[in-house]
Chains A and B, each alone.
Chain A
Amino acid sequence: MIKMFRWRAVSFLLLCLVLLIGGWVLLGDWLVKRGIEAGGSGVLGTEVDVGWLKLRTGASAVEMKRLEIADPHNPLRNVLEAAHLVVDLAALPALEKKVVIDRMELTGLRFGTVRARPARPADANSSAGQLLAETKQWAQQFKAPLLALTPIDTIKSLVMDPAQLGTIKAANALVASTDSTREALEVAFTSLKVDPILDSAKALTARLKGANPSSLGLQGTVEAASSVKRTLDQISGARQQVVGFEKTATSGIDNLTQGLKGLDDARQKDYAFARELLKLPSFDAPNIGAALFGQQSTDVFQQALYYAQIAQKYIPPGLQPWRRSAPRQLRMAGTTVQFPRENHYPTFLLRDGRLGFSLGGDTTASGFSAVVSGLTTEPAIYGKPATFSASGDISGAHPLGIRMAGLLDHVRKVPLDSVQATVTGVRLPSIALPGLPFGVDPGTGSVEFSFSLQGDRIGGRWEIASSHAVWKSDSSKAGHLSTVENVLWQVVSGLSDLRVGAELGGTVRAPTLSVHSNLDAALAARLQTLVGDQAAKGEAKARAAVDRLVDEKVGPVKTKITGLQSDVAGRLGLQKQQLDEVQKQLESQLRTLTGGLNLPKIKL
């Protein structure tokens, strides 16, 4: 009989187990470190590095040093850097492969630090990579035209594709509409059947011509009078039909006339489009704000939207199974599905996080603290929104203050993510003005920021203010500034106050952004004076180019509508006139037959 078990193998398996344990002791820290780096990178779409990690199995804790999270939008910068991090884990959830952090302490947190080497970009096919591309695409729609300061008279001739013009599209639609209206009116006119009534009335008139009661006799007179009255009733009915048709025709033609007005509106938009193609400078104050500082404000909101969308992606509301791509491996990774259950542990939960951080130039002063609580991947289980707040002040020669509060409320049906922050006394980054050979170093100032995303609704405000701004021109181009650039430089270089703000609104799909600064009005006035004439020439050029294409289409449409209008008026006029004439004749004959007496109602 063959033995079922090979007991000798137990020692072999024990050896394997010892090797496994030994491997874990030797490599466990490294494996967890790699796991955190890979997982963090996958979620955030950027490189996450952990300098050192130690698992403290006995204490259910993990200790890390030099945690760096690169900026997904700038590979040369870290979004944050933490010098030291201690995570106390709950042991029981760990048995279910869940991470429940009872307490986390981060110290030496710094923001916006320069990286020693560029960060690896996110995999374009990963969900974070796709989200990054989507938010970049989203920000593109706010791309404000540069302040085009080249002389206007160098404008190249404008070549446009007629298909790009809204007026052409609207005119084509109006032609089709005119044709269908004409056909409909034609059918309605034919169905009036006025001509047979007119013919019958005319025939009756001819038959009774010269007739009188004495020639017709009593019976003949009564019958003739009845015929006349019947025909008069038919004429009255026909007139009502004609009036009804007139109303229908008038309404149809009114619609077409409205369409013609719509063409004028479309033409105005086409003028704007042509102006854009010519890159004519628009020196209205709001445009100047957007051209000078649009990029900065867009960058800020783009980043906020990116993180908010990551939060919405990884913190789904409700308790439905949650699918996510598994980490990449040699074989196909597949999809990992999580099955949350009420009154159980969520897959990830940070109950209480304490953060100590530095801001500004003095990174040794950790005068700031922040608290994060209730951050979880299954808020429906936890039952409370995640909140975070930060505050702190440093007094002295360079006072610095921060007030910040945020909320990730995914407990509700439509998730709400919001953040509000005010930082005072912070060193603001330099701003290069796009398309211009100078920029501004705002120095120390304040930043206010708020952002919210609720479902598709988006809102935000960003403001920076400084009273020590220093303007700097590109030294290599200092001697070659154009006249307009010189004027700009004269306006801005004397200003030390800088206030820039932006408001975001609308929906993610159709957002609105307005950017303003304290420079807008002053610059607009100077520039409009300087280039007013040339801008007018360019405007005329753009209009002429549009008119040349549009008139070819709009002229015939107008003619068609006018033709239809006069045709309808002519036909209706003729019908009405004929009805009037024959009615008069019949009434006259009726008077002759009745001798001016009203006949009793005769049952016909």
Chain B
Amino acid sequence: MLTLLKLLQSIFQTLHSEGTPRQVAAGIALGACLGLTPLLNAHNLGIFSAIALLNVSFGGGMLGWALFTPLGFLLDPLFDRIGHGLLDAESLRPLWTAWFNTPLVPFSNFNNTVVLGSLVAWIGLAVPIYFGARVGVAHYRATWGEKVLQ
């Protein structure tokens, strides 16, 4: 319950922050990667650095992470299938073989079905998430935002 309340608080803080809808939406889209893909992987270091370094809403990033984590758990079987499809594809085998034998790349765990499947799914969903969040935040601020502040 406390987690849920904190999440709600975080949502409102982000929605009412000074960031523009674009910054919040970009933060949510990046944060979605932390939630959709297994957290302890090298690519998430890059995503976290991007959320911190790029001029996107940090709160949006944390919100995206919180919102998409349960979805990630739910969609793991789908990610696994996507990953299997990609890693088992004959045409992609030379690419995977090259990556697997390249220094540092294997630490990304790209050769795990869930990691690769979820990362690819996030890449595919990032743009729709960004636009959806941007429209949602703008709409909220124009309609409900004022009332909530009052």
Contact = CB atoms under 8 A, between A and B. Distances in A.
Contacts of B48: 16
B52 A9 contact: yes
Contact of A334 (B49, B73, B113): B113
A24 to B, nearest CB: 13
A207 interface: no
Interface in B52-87: 52-55, 72-73, 76-77, 79-80, 83-84, 87
Interface stretch (A148-156, A338-346, A401-409, A572-580): A338-346
A335 B80 contact: yes
Nearest to B72: A331
Interface residues of A, number: 31
A332 B49 contact: no
Interface in B77-111: 77, 79-80, 83-84, 87-88, 93, 96-107, 109, 111
A96 B112 contact: no
B115 A334 contact: yes
A333 B114 contact: yes
Nearest to A95: B103
A322 to B, nearest CB: 10
Contacts of A340: 97, 100
A9 B53 contact: yes
Of B48, B55, B73, chain A has the most CB atoms within 10 Å of the CB of: B55
Q: DSSP majority for the B interface?
A: helix
A96 B97 CA distance: 12
Contact of A335 (B101, B102, B105, B113): B113
Contact of A5 (B20, B55, B104): B55
Contacts of B80: 332, 334-335
Interface in B28-60: 38, 48-49, 52-55
B112 A344 contact: no
A334 B103 contact: no
A337 B77 contact: no
Contact of B76 (A6, A98, A321, A332): A332
A97 B111 CA distance: 12
A322 B75 CA distance: 25
Contacts of B20: 2
B111 A337 contact: yes
Given A4-B54, A341-B97, A13 B49 contact: yes
Contacts of B98: 341
Interface string A252-280: 00000000000000000000000000000
B114 A334 contact: yes
B54 A5 contact: yes
Contact of A337 (B49, B55, B96, B107): B96
B53 A334 contact: no
Nearest to B22: A2
Contacts of B38: 329, 331
Interface string A1-43: 0111110011011001000000000000000000000000000
A336 interface: yes
B89 to A, nearest CB: 11
A173 interface: no
Nearest to B96: A339
Given A5-B53, A12-B52, A334-B80, A339 B114 contact: no
A339 B95 CA distance: 10
Interface in A404-454: none
Interface in A33-92: 92
A476 B149 CA distance: 86
B76 A331 contact: yes
Contacts of A92: 103
Interface string B111-139: 11111010000000000000000000000
Given A95-B104, A334-B114, A337-B96, A6 B55 contact: yes
A535 B45 CA distance: 78
A326 B104 CA distance: 19
Interface string A304-343: 0000000000000000010000100101111111111100
B72 to A, nearest CB: 7
A351 B116 CA distance: 32
Contact of A10 (B53, B102, B113): B53
B59 to A, nearest CB: 13
B40 to A, nearest CB: 8
A22 to B, nearest CB: 16
A6 B113 contact: no
A97 B106 contact: yes
Contacts of B52: 6, 9, 12-13
A326 B113 CA distance: 9
Contacts of A329: 38
Contacts of A97: 106-107
A8 B61 CA distance: 17
A96 B20 CA distance: 42
B68 to A, nearest CB: 13
Of B83, B84, B101, B103, chain A has the most CB atoms within 10 Å of the CB of: B101
B44 to A, nearest CB: 12
Contacts of B73: 331
A332 B114 contact: yes
Contacts of A4: 54-55
Contact of B114 (A9, A10, A12, A331): A331
B130 to A, nearest CB: 16
Given A334-B114, A339-B96, A339-B97, A96 B55 contact: no
A345 B103 CA distance: 11
B62 to A, nearest CB: 14
Contact of B111 (A10, A98, A339, A345): A339
A73 B107 CA distance: 35
Given A321-B93, A336-B109, A345-B101, 12 more contacts: A92-B103, A95-B103, A96-B102, A326-B112, A326-B114, A331-B72, A332-B76, A334-B112, A335-B80, A336-B113, A337-B88, A339-B96
Interface of A: 2-6, 9-10, 12-13, 16, 92, 95-98, 321, 326, 329, 331-341, 344-345
Interface of B: 20, 23, 38, 48-49, 52-55, 72-73, 76-77, 79-80, 83-84, 87-88, 93, 96-107, 109, 111-115, 117
13 contacts: A6-B54, A97-B107, A321-B88, A329-B38, A331-B38, A331-B73, A334-B76, A336-B112, A339-B97, A339-B99, A339-B111, A340-B100, A345-B101
3 shortest interchain CB distances as A-B pairs: A334-B114, A332-B76, A97-B106
